[in-house]
């Protein structure tokens, strides 16, 4: 009985993933990479994504950067870091956040070891809604319900294959609007009241 309930809860997520990435994105050992490009940019602005990482996320950032260019057709603006030498994650998260908040990039991706610190730093930049995500369901929710404009990933939390799929899903999922619009406006209004 529990398995049937869990399958019922997961069905809408699987359907949304299939819509965004195509059926080839189904998880499991038989999964093949998505053969078709991701749809046009869901956010207003250029079809450009800012990406940045600290030393803990550098290797995953490089994998994601290549995948974005080769598999989605989006242009990448790389905010660094450019090596595995120790650096401070707030610097790179803020650089990505400024690119997104300015409109020079439609969306952003930040990577550190856990994804938490970079999300905290990015969310300090007005206009940014950065979400730490760990799976397809949280990515879909962040875009469809919260209109997240930056995805934060933990290189020690999310496997590179899952991370690549999640970034493609993030780029290919549009904000649902409707009842969620009012809620996102309330989130953004907190920036004004908090000063």
3-state SS, one letter per residue, for the chain: CHHHHHHHHHHHHHHHHHHHHCHHHCCCCCCCCCCCCCCCCCCCCCCEEEEEECCCCHHHHHHHHHHHHHHHCCEEEECCCCCCCCCCHHHHHHHHHHHHHHCCCCEEEEEECCCHHHHHHHCCCCCCCEEECCCHHHHHHHHHCCCCCEEEEECCCCCHHHHHHHHHHHHHCCCCCCHHHHHHHHHHHHHHHCC
Catalytic residue among 134, 145, 159, 180: 145
Active site residue 180: no
Catalytic residues: 145
């Amino acid at each position: 009985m529990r398995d049937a309930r869990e399958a019922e809860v997961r069905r809408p997520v699987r359907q949304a993933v299939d819509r965004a990435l195509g059926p080839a994105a189904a998880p499991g050992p038989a999964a093949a990479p998505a053969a078709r490009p991701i749809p046009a940019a869901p956010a207003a602005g250029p079809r450009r994504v800012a990406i940045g990482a600290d030393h803990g996320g550098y290797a995953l950032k490089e994998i994601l950067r290549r995948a974005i260019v080769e598999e989605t057709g989006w242009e990448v603006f790389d905010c660094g870091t450019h090596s595995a030498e120790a650096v401070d994650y707030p610097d790179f998260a803020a650089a990505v956040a400024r690119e997104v908040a300015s409109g020079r990039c439609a969306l952003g991706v930040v990577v550190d070891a856990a994804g938490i610190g970079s999300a905290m730093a990015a969310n300090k930049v007005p206009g940014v809604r950065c979400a730490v995500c760990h799976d397809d369901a949280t990515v879909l929710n962040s875009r469809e319900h919260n209109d997240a404009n930056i995805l934060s990933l933990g290189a020690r939390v999310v496997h590179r294959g899952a991370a690549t799929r999640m970034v493609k899903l993030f780029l290919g999922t549009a904000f649902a609007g409707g009842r969620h619009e009012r809620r996102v406006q309330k989130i953004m209004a907190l920036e004004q009241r908090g000063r």
